[in-house]
Copies of this chain bind each other. A is one copy, B any other.
């Protein structure tokens, strides 16, 4: 974990500044092994550390209710940039920037970008500081570079699991995307949101590969799920209990549409949308997911019923078409 900057000095300063006595530490799965070490830093700064062990998939998932119930006076959220406009409890975001170099991975990506001249760059908050380095390498390799910035996220070129505005805004001007970062999750999101060839430059492994074929497979699977859901007699509409994923009004609108279609509908509130959780409701034929759309897209194989995004449901209800949805991207929260 020496490859990340945990900004330990800033943690200590913030605890001192707020005279925090009890601090809640929240982080995504990849950073959880560091939790006991980070808790020690908080303790040395004079506060009682409590680590959130629950899954954490983004800054949308900020554990404010949990922190309140534990009488915490500061949340330290690691691994994501600020997303919510207001926090009920003082929150320090530690973006955990990567400290390793990206050169080797980007050089490995150059051959995979042969045939594409206009390249869009994208990355997570961990690597936003590397964008200029990546640009220089690719310009030297004869590419034209675009970096989107809708200003909705803190950094140009930044993507998060459910917001690909920065890549969508430049999709028409590029032939392919290069994503700098680890794992397939964000790169698949780019390919699904833009339908463009997407290459990963992975600085952790110093290697590069394409996720374009995998994205095409997901799109085929979504078509099948929509077809199956069109036959449903009873729908379940899922409402997330996570503060940044709770779209109650949207769920109520979907319920109304289903009622107009003269189908049965039931609203379900849920924290973690897991296969076992949905399997408890055997009379529901298909679910509409108003929480994180990535659960529908990336985890379909794990569910034994269709779990549609709201965009996909609009194809079932006739409010949109498959072609139109693909053009707009498979999700837009």
Contacts and interface: CB of A to CB of B under 8 A. Distances in A.
A52 interface: yes
In the complex, the 5 A-B pairs of residues with the closest C-beta atoms, listed nearest first: A32-B280, A53-B270, A53-B268, A36-B266, A50-B267
A248 interface: yes
Contacts of A115: none
B49 A281 contact: no
Interface stretch (A132-140, A233-241, A292-300): A233-241
Give how many copies assemble into the complex: 2
A266 B55 contact: no
Interface in A237-289: 238-239, 241, 243, 246, 248, 252, 264, 266-272, 277-278, 280-284
A268 B50 contact: yes
Interface residues of A, number: 43
From A39, A69, A243, residue with most partner B Cβ within 10 Å: A69
Contacts of A267: 39, 48-51
16 contacts: A29-B280, A33-B280, A33-B281, A36-B281, A39-B266, A50-B239, A50-B267, A50-B268, A51-B267, A53-B278, A53-B281, A54-B269, A54-B271, A55-B277, A65-B69, A69-B246
A270 B32 CA distance: 13
